[in-house]
Amino acid sequence: MAAGVVLLGAGVAIAQPAEGTASFRVFLKGSAIGGEEATVRRTPAGITITSNGRLAPPLDLVTRQFVLRYDTNWRPLDLTVNAVTRGAGLSIKTTFADGKATSEITQAGAPITKTDTITPDTLVLPNLFFSAYEALAMRLASIPDGSSFPAYIAPQAEITVKQNARSTQKVETARRVIDVRTYALTFRNPGTPLDAIVWTDETGRLLKFEVPAQSLIFVREDLASVATRALLVSREGDVSVRIPGNGFNLAGTLSQPSGPPPTESKGRYPAIVLVGGSGQTDRDETVAGIAVFGLLASPLADAGYYVLRYDKRGVGQSGGRTETATLQDFAEDVRAMVQFLRKRKDVDPKRIVLFGHSEGTLVSLLAASRDEDLAGVVLAAGPSDTGGELVLEQQQYLLGRMNLPDAERATRIDLQKRIQAAVLGQGTWDDIPEPLMRQANTAWFQSFLRFTPASVMSKVKQPLLILHGDIDRQVPVHHADRLAELARARKKSPAEAVQVVKLDGVNHLLVKGKTGDLEEYGSLAGKGLDPRVAPTTIEWLAKVLAARR
């Protein structure tokens, strides 16, 4: 045994894993190529792992029988494999005794016998028979970080594996929340070390085995579902909810307020709906590792508000499809959120506010224009121009930062203008590359290009808080001033019905930055929201909602 390698068994009784069968899926370079069904059983003699499965080319493996047995001290007893690989039969029978692994191998009819020296409690991890990693998952909790342990890549040779670090997280599936432990490992193969990540559940059973360098993932079915999401931010008292939409359900998280409701509100709390930006936006509005809404929900709830955030239709655990969805459709989804809150006996239906971020400001304005009973709207990092004008403004900024001749910049801007004209039916798709046409010719993009904040704002009666970072490069800060002008131009709108707050040094994600450019986002992962965002919102809410009691 190499120096520094931990003997995992060392006379210690076997851990008590959860018994039962689990189904796994295998993905290679993003494509599903098959799966395995693994069963773990405890017996008086120890642990038995069995499985069968099928992997498509390029791995090309059919497992008819896999049996791996360990004794009560985590010493391997024997391994049996009957499989077909690339059309040829494969049989492995390995027995473990006296520090030796003796294997009888038959592949394509040719028998081989070999003996390897091993550590008595080595982990047996034959290549491509992923159910063997159930034993790895069960044993990792007892291995100190930074330690190495032996693994026998049956029937080839023994190597060492180093456990580099561990972490925890919560993952919500369609059925439950799983407390996940994640382990970062390095397999010290001869020649090139290989990094891997192992996920386990609360019982020590395997959830996922991933080799990033090979784009290989072996994952349990419940974790592989598109409805599964990481709980990057969780708060005690958060409740998962399902809200009826137009023919489908929208999934969200309702954060419950701290403290008793105001005495004058007859036991009812005010509430706020968080409305996310463009794209595949989940309920936490996670961008570049920053959970914008997940971070915002907690201080708002602590201040005494119900806070509802949700996965956009077709995203995460929400149903519905996005192919034909428009901004108007997304506004109807927001109204479904509002109706859900109004039906609760502990929510004051007269004190519900929308908080829209980025594109969510447009959706919130639409929803508010159709529902005068809403108490107010927060517009955070929202545009004041039509979608078409904003796209051209963003493109010109990006082109200005590129080392391109003026003629090339002009050509690209002209192409964008022709694409937008075609989407709006004011031009043709002639000479526009087909990939660009497929990307742009959508119901959402058409509704975005047509959206005119000035027109919608004139129909919005509610008080507005306009929040904007002064280094926002996606929607520059001058849009805040223009939105305020539009809001103050409304009929019967007193000046105090509009408040504008500009946050110095804050980017489009409402996070402190240096440049505000998109390229900077990756370096900000893990940062919190600017500390002024929540208090500013809470102060404004208190002022606006006081008049609604």
The span from the CA of 528 to the CA of 510, in Å, is 9
Give 455-487 pLDDT, tens digit per residue: 999 999 999 999 999 999 999 999 999 999 999
Query: Residue 17 pLDDT more than 80?
Result: no
Question: Any idea which residue has 């043709």 for tokens?
Answer: 428
Nearest to 63 by CA among 44, 89, 42, 43: 89
Query: Which among 443, 460, 480 is the end of a domain?
Result: 443
> Is position 4 within any domain?
no
The answer on 188 and 82 residing in a single domain is: yes
* Residues 423 and 460 occupy one common structural domain: no
Q: How many other CB atoms sit within 10 Å of the CB of residue 487?
A: 26
Average pLDDT of the chain?
Answer: 90
Within a domain: 168: yes
Closest residue by Cα to residue 139 from 125, 118, 156: 125
Going by pLDDT thresholds of 50, 70 and 90, the confidence category of residue 171 is confident
Contact criterion met (CB below 8 Å) for 540 and 499: yes
| Phi and psi, residue 340, nearest 5° | -60, -45
pLDDT band for position 495 (cuts 50, 70, 90): low
Confidence of residue 29 (pLDDT cuts 50, 70, 90): confident
Structure letter (DSSP) for residue 546: H
At 77 the pLDDT is 97
pLDDT at 10 over 50: no
- Between 493 and 316, residue with greater pLDDT: 316
State yes or no: pLDDT of 503 exceeds 70.
Answer: yes
Q: Is 301 helix (H, G, I), strand (E, B) or coil?
A: helix
- Are 346 and 491 in the same domain? yes
Q: Which pLDDT does position 3 carry in this prediction?
A: 38
Q: Are residues 475 and 429 in the same domain?
A: no
Q: In the prediction, which pLDDT does 8 show?
A: 52
**Contact partners, residue 240, CB within 8 Å, separation at least 6:** 172, 251, 252, 253, 254
Confidence check: pLDDT of 374 > 50: yes
Is 10 among the domain residues?
Answer: no
Query: How high is the pLDDT of residue 16?
Result: 63
Residue 128 in this model has a pLDDT that exceeds 50: yes
Q: What is the mean pLDDT of residues 279-292?
A: 88
Query: For residue 310, is it within any domain?
Result: yes
432 and 494 assigned to the same domain:
no
> Radius of gyration (Cα) for the chain, nearest Å?
29
Give the whole-angstrom CA distance, residue 541 versus residue 55.
56
Tell me if 262 is assigned to some domain: yes
Of 241-250, 251-260, 522-531, minimum mean pLDDT range: 522-531
The encoded tokens of residue 38 equal 């693994």
Domain boundary among 224, 252, 268: 224
Do 164 and 293 lie in a common domain?
no
Exposed e or buried b per residue across 183-210, where buried means at least 16 C-beta atoms within 10 angstroms of its C-beta: bebebbeeeeebebebbbbebbbbbbbb
What was the pLDDT predicted at 226?
66
99-111 burial: b if 16+ Cβ within 10 Å, else e: eebbbebeeeeee
- Region 87-113: what's the mean pLDDT? 94
pLDDT tops 50 at residue 13: no
Whether residue 12 is contained in a domain is answered as: no
Share of the chain above pLDDT 70, in %: 95
pLDDT, one tens digit per residue, over 41-98 is 998 889 999 999 999 999 999 999 999 999 998 999 999 999 999 989 999 999 999 9
Judged against a pLDDT cut of 80, whether residue 233 lies above it is answered with no
Q: How far apart are CA 6 and CA 492, in angstroms?
A: 76
* pLDDT beyond 60 at 6: no
> Any idea which of 320-329, 344-353, 358-367 has the lowest mean pLDDT?
320-329
398 vs 382, residue with greater confidence: 382
* Contact assessment for residue 132 and residue 125, using Cβ atoms and an 8 Å cutoff: yes
So what's the pLDDT on residue 224? 81
| Residue 465 and residue 376 share a domain | yes
What is the predicted pLDDT for the residue at 210? 92
Query: For the segment 388-435, what is each residue's pLDDT rounded down to a tens digit?
Result: 999 999 999 888 888 888 899 899 999 999 999 999 999 999 989 999
Q: Does 366 lie in the same domain as 415?
A: no
Model pLDDT, residue 12:
44
Residue 285 structural domain: 232-385+451-546
Work out the average pLDDT over 293-312: 94
Would 1 be classed as within a structural domain? Answer: no
pLDDT at 548: 66
* 15, part of any domain: no
pLDDT at residue 514, as a whole number: 93
- CATH classification at residue 265: 3.40.50.1820
Report the domain count for the chain: 3
Ranges of beta strands (E only) in 373-517 are 376-380, 464-469, 498-503
pLDDT at 522 over 90: no
Tell me how far apart the alpha carbons of residues 65 and 50 are, in angstroms, rounded to a whole number. 7
Residue pair 448/366 in contact (Cβ under 8 Å)? The answer is no
Same structural domain, 175 and 144: yes
Across 30-34, 261-265, 297-301, least confident range: 261-265
Last residue of a domain, one of 443, 461, 490: 443
> Is-contact 402 428, C-beta < 8 A?
no
Q: Are residues 275 and 415 in the same domain?
A: no
Q: How far is CA 482 from the centre of its chain?
A: 34
Same domain (yes/no): 436, 374: no
Confidence of residue 108 (pLDDT cuts 50, 70, 90): confident
The residue-averaged pLDDT of 332-356 equals 96
Which tens digit of pLDDT belongs to each residue from 186-218?
A: 999 888 889 999 999 999 999 999 998 888 999
Q: What angle do CA 266, 270, 274 make, to 5 degrees?
A: 160
Residues 327 and 368 in one domain: yes
